[in-house]
Amino acid sequence: MSETLELLADRCLFPGFKGTVAPDWVRRRAANGLGGVLFYGRNVETAEQTAALAASLHAERPELLIAIDEEGGDVTRLDVATGSSYPGNLALGVVDDLELTRAVAAAMGSELARVGVDVDLAPDADVNSNPANPVIGVRAFGSDPALVAAQTVAWLDGMQGAGVAACVKHFPGHGDTSVDSHLALPVVGEDPRRGALEPFRAAIAAGVQVVMSAHILVPSMDSVPATVSPRIMTELLRNELGFDGLVMTDGLEMRGITDGFGIAGATVLALVAGCDALCIGGGLADEDTVDELRSAIVGAVRDGRLTEERLRDAASRVDQLAAWRSRQSYPQGEGGGGDGEVGLIAARRAVRAEGPVRVGADPVVVRLSPAPSMAGGALPWGVAAPLTQLGAHVTAIDFNHPPVGLESILQIATGRSLVLVVRNLHRHKWQAEIADELLALRPDTVVVEMGLPASRPRGAQAYVATHGASRVSGLAAAEVMREG
């Protein structure tokens, strides 16, 4: 019996929801054929709770796909309370050991399989060619297309070897942008064919299961955003690059796409363009939104804006990914768990320290905190807690905005080691100015950069770069300062 348009539309929807227990509407729709759901940090408390949540949803319909953003580093959902146990992509790219990258992704994949996750919305395969990029940065393996391609393949091999589908993002490349697509529509400065496509091409050749679209404008390719561009999502991705797996959109509430089309309009246009799975729920995590989008899809078929054939094709690709997941060696909820040490090992290898970075037993740690990105959210980060963990008696001082009372800091730090912790200093003028002032007064201040180390302060004699702000990256930096 042929499925109704409503059921086909449901298969293409991947909503989010609130709470650590699935609401009734999610369970009902899962049982009736919903394609998948997205887990966010708000859904996660412990590994045991997350596994129980996933099991309750899979019990409604085993083919339901559970997806999560677990990149490691600055973007984590499983470790939202503590910070990630794995360094992010930039740290792995700096080390540039493909076996290590594969081992980190395999450990992460085993943890995801153990808690019942089917699809990891990672790795980020962007080439971060613009240091001012506010949303990619340390989430990318680096700025060299060949390095990023090799690291991307190693990462997806590790993840998919653990039985969890990997998803390379953000196609056709979000690296050469200077705007966060959560907030507005970024414009790509360079033709992706000059390097940004290379990691995606390599990932497709290596058998990646999912590709995620980017809400970006690529003037060299089309006059509409990539997510709703048939030229990019079908002609380029499907026909030219030969990708035959699932194409998933980035979050459809993001202003990079809704400002121009509205969420319902973007949903329909994304399907027309060649996307299959439609991500929602980062903000609009309710059944009314799912109803609105299903109605929009069905209405578009009935009035001829979307063909039924295209909708059936999209739904079938969701089914094909569910079938792939069911064949993996780590069935849902039965993964063996991750290697708890490999993340710290990788973070240690990624730390770069120059100058007299050792601190005493009672350091003063000043942290200058930028606003958290919408991709990563608010996570614990820094070196104060790790230094305390290693036995230091730390005085921690945090600033989220100016003014910063340097005189009081210097008074507190008299006769003590002083540490200044920053994150993407090159993108925050007020923080760079504070760093310069502080270093002029205390040249022995140890500067710890936990973002992209694109702008070392001129007066920094002692400098530590972690290449990411994961929990293990902070611990690795603390170890260098206590033992170096």
In a domain, 337, yes or no: no
Question: How is residue 426 annotated by DSSP?
Answer: G
What band does 338 get if pLDDT is binned at 50, 70 and 90?
low
Residues 300 and 358 in one domain: no
Residues 315 and 430 in one domain: no
- The pLDDT value recorded for residue 180 is 81
According to DSSP, the β-strands at 462-465 and 352-354 are: antiparallel
- The catalytic residue among 182, 426, 428, 467 is 182
- Helix residue spans in 303-404 (DSSP H): 308-326, 342-350, 384-389
CATH code of the domain covering residue 472: 3.40.50.1700
Asked if 156 and 211 touch (Cβ cutoff 8 Å), the reply is no
Peptide bond into 172 cis (omega under 30): yes
Last residue of a domain, one of 291, 326, 361: 326
- Which of 24, 25, 30, 27 minimizes the C-alpha distance to 10? 30
CA dist 349 and 346 (Å) reads 5
Q: How many CA atoms lie within 13 A of 267 on its CB side?
A: 26
Residue 331, pLDDT above cutoff 50: no
3-state helix, strand, coil in the chain (%, to 5): 45, 10, 45
Residues 160 and 287 in one domain: yes
In a domain, 303, yes or no: yes
In a domain, 344, yes or no: no
Residues 106 and 176 in one domain: yes
In total, how many domains does the chain have?
2
**428 labelled catalytic:** no
Residues 406 and 307 in one domain: no
- pLDDT digits over 426-439, tens only? 999 999 999 999 99
Last residue of a domain, one of 326, 341, 362: 326
Q: Mean pLDDT in the chain? A: 94
Between vectors from CA 261 to CA 256 and to CA 265, what angle results, nearest 5°?
125
CB atoms within 10 A of CB 397: 17
In a domain, 72, yes or no: yes
- The catalytic residue among 120, 222, 250, 276 is 250
Residue 377, pLDDT above cutoff 80: no
Residues 130 and 26 in one domain: yes
In a domain, 172, yes or no: yes
**Angle in degrees, 0-180, between the axes of helices 145-161 and 98-114, rounded to the nearest 10:** 40
Which range among 6-15, 187-196, 336-345 shows the weakest confidence by mean pLDDT? 336-345
- The pLDDT value recorded for residue 484 is 55
Residues 396 and 315 in one domain: no
In a domain, 36, yes or no: yes
Residue 339, pLDDT above cutoff 70: no
- pLDDT digits over 50-70, tens only? 999 999 999 999 999 999 999
- pLDDT digits over 76-92, tens only? 999 999 999 999 999 99
Tokens (6 digits) for 249: 């959109």
- The pLDDT value recorded for residue 255 is 85
Residues 244 and 384 in one domain: no
Residues 225 and 134 in one domain: yes
Last residue of a domain, one of 326, 342, 377: 326
Residues 293 and 414 in one domain: no
Specify the residue for token string 């990105």.
373
Question: How is residue 187 annotated by DSSP?
Answer: B
- pLDDT digits over 131-173, tens only? 888 889 999 999 999 999 999 999 999 999 999 999 999 999 9
**215 labelled catalytic:** no
- Helix residue spans in 115-246 (DSSP H): 145-161, 198-205, 230
- The pLDDT value recorded for residue 374 is 66
Residues 301 and 361 in one domain: no
pTM of the model: 0.95
In a domain, 386, yes or no: yes
Which range among 35-44, 176-185, 223-232 shows the weakest confidence by mean pLDDT? 176-185
Residues 295 and 359 in one domain: no
Which residue range forms the structural domain that includes residue 466? 351-483
- pLDDT digits over 182-241, tens only? 888 999 988 999 999 999 999 999 999 999 999 999 999 999 999 999 999 999 999 999
Residue 454, pLDDT above cutoff 50: yes
- The pLDDT value recorded for residue 467 is 98
Backbone angles phi, psi at 277, to 5 degrees: -105, 135
Question: How is residue 334 annotated by DSSP?
Answer: -
CATH code of the domain covering residue 17: 3.20.20.300
